[in-house]
Amino acid sequence: MSTARLGRYVAWQTLDFLRERGLAIALILSALTLAAGMIGAEGPEAGFSGAAGLVRLSRFTLSLVTSISLLFLVVGFNGLCSADRTQGFARFYFAKPVDPSAFYGLKWLVHAVGLGAIVLAWTGTLAAVYGPYDAAATLVAFGLRLMLYGGLFFLLSVLLSAEVAAFSGLYLGGELAKLLADDRAWARTAVTWAFPWHRLTELDALLEKGAALPLDAVLHVTGTGLGALVLGLVLLRRRRLVT
Amino acid sequence: MLLGFLAPDTGRVRLDGLAPRAFVEREGVGYLSELVAIPREWRLVDALRRYAVLDGVPEAELAPAVEAAIARLGLEEHRGKKIKQLSKGNAQRVALAQALLRPHRLVVLDEPTHGLDPVWTQRFRALVHELRDPGRAILIASHNLDELERVADRVAILDHGRVQRIVDVRAGAGAPTAGRWRVVVADGAAALAAHWPDAREVGSATWELDVADLPTFNRTLGAAIAAGLVVRQVGPAESGLERQFREAVGGVAP
């Protein structure tokens, strides 16, 4: 029963995602691409036309995703649960016969699919404009980030109301541990297990070369995100739903 | 706690034998919170559609249920407005409408008349009367004792997180037969003062006097009326519920 109700509610969640986040992300992505295209139009060396241009386009989309997609993911996932809790919207939602884990799990899925669809549409539009190019590395790089950061943001949103600040702390902690990893064992352990961003860097380098990705690194990144997502869903059943 | 939003520090809450969340997730609760929080960008009619979907109103019955709720709460002229465009009273009515989209066995209304104008406060009483059903429990949390006395069967007085007293309003247990009474005089105040030397004038033509018992009070009042007193209004200075509340929480008499 609850699944059927939430299935009907997905349409509203999708509409909310598009209105509140999706359109803004799509516009920023389009503006950045347009700017790059215009800069490229200044000379044949930098443009996206022709065989060499399509290789440049492939590198451009990959570099854009690896450099700024975290920003889109922050916009896409921020406040997923915490906003309803702190602003009080959860009170009416969960007076209805609704399982909070199912409600937010589905909301997370809507946002993840929505973000994926935007990137897919973006690469598809570029292919339509400039010609077929290799966007696989771009899509894989985005997918890895979607799983890792999306899962972590979800967990933080269940636990806290300031998840961006908390995530920034985690991110900086990971970077700091990476700096100290050569000298300190605890930092090496932290880098290996707790903060898998360094695996993303490894994977990005391989994607750029067009090399095969090691399964353990892919599983480390996606597993961390998935684990955080599942933990968040479990904690939703135990955490207070309103503040 | 009844809806499982918060866990009790001690003890346990059970609804129909179930933990609160299990009960709510099984059948839902008609709930109006004191803090009305509906996303401000939502349109009124869309807000009710969303809540109806979550409440399990079947697709075929969704539009009629939403329209009925809008009509029931007199929101027709506001149906296309965004929540942020509504006054506090109208937002309160939307919140009440979402609680009543579907019949529930348990209805919890927290300060339901907060922000309502006098007409809708009165209409609220009628709504509660319509909701009365042997198979339904309606729990109203309110600081408005007069309101509770009009709509409730039983009133639990809470103070410092504990139930201090349960007053059976239906049985008239709260109705005072002695104590301080108030008489509003239209004419002949001298006759009143002559029959109740201790009577005090507390406002424009309003007198307070101590009543030992109802038969004595009626006899004396009759004598005063015969002597020229014209009464506009007469009744206890405080309601039975107010008195019980004051006694339960240890307050000072007015």
DSSP per-residue codes, B128-160: HHHH--TT-EEEEE-S-HHHHHHH-SEEEEEET
How far is the alpha carbon of A220 from chain B, nearest alpha carbon, in Å? 35
pLDDT for residue B178: 74
CA distance linking residue A155 with residue A103, whole number of Å: 15
Residue A176 binned pLDDT confidence (cut-offs 50, 70, 90) = confident
Across chain A, what does the average pLDDT equal? Answer: 88
CA distance linking residue A93 with residue A83, whole number of Å: 13
The pLDDT > 70 percentage for chain A reads 93
Res. A193: pLDDT tops 80: no
In this complex, is the C-beta atom of B42 within 8 Å of any C-beta atom belonging to chain A?
Answer: no
Q: Which residue has the tokens 């353990």?
A: A216
Q: Cα B87 to the chain's mean position, in Å?
A: 21
pLDDT in tens, B139-192: 999 988 888 888 899 999 988 888 888 888 877 655 667 788 899 999 998 999
Let me know: does A188 contact A181? Beta carbons within 8 Å.
yes
pLDDT for residue A201: 86
CA distance linking residue A145 with residue A151, whole number of Å: 9
Over range A64-88, report the average pLDDT. Answer: 91
pLDDT for residue A182: 79
pLDDT for residue B161: 82
Over range B29-37, report the average pLDDT. Answer: 92
In this complex, is the C-beta atom of B111 within 8 Å of any C-beta atom belonging to chain A?
Answer: no
How far is the alpha carbon of B193 from chain A, nearest alpha carbon, in Å? 56
Residue A38 binned pLDDT confidence (cut-offs 50, 70, 90) = low
Let me know: does A119 contact A65? Beta carbons within 8 Å.
yes
- Count of pairs with CB atoms under 8 A, one residue in A, one in B: 72
How far is the alpha carbon of A121 from chain B, nearest alpha carbon, in Å? 27
Domains of chain B, CATH where assigned:
20-142 (3.40.50.300), 179-237 (3.30.70)
pLDDT in tens, A4-22: 788 899 999 999 999 999 9
pLDDT for residue B145: 85
Residue A39 binned pLDDT confidence (cut-offs 50, 70, 90) = low
- Tell me the backbone φ, ψ of residue B14, rounded to 5 degrees: -130, 135
From chain A, pick out residues whose CB is under 8 angstroms from the CB of B28: 95-97
Does the beta-carbon distance from B50 to A12 stay under 8 Å? Answer: yes
pLDDT in tens, B205-221: 899 998 888 889 899 99
How far is the alpha carbon of A13 from chain B, nearest alpha carbon, in Å? 10
Does the beta-carbon distance from B33 to A99 stay under 8 Å? Answer: no
Residue B229 binned pLDDT confidence (cut-offs 50, 70, 90) = very high
Specify which of A110-119, A160-169, B165-174 reaches the highest per-range mean pLDDT.
A110-119
From residue B101, how far is each of A47, A189, B4, B53, B80 by CA, in Å? 59, 55, 21, 10, 18
Radius of gyration for chain B, computed over Cα atoms and rounded to the nearest angstrom: 23
Res. A215: pLDDT tops 70: yes
In this complex, is the C-beta atom of A96 within 8 Å of any C-beta atom belonging to chain B?
Answer: yes
Let me know: does A46 contact A119? Beta carbons within 8 Å.
no
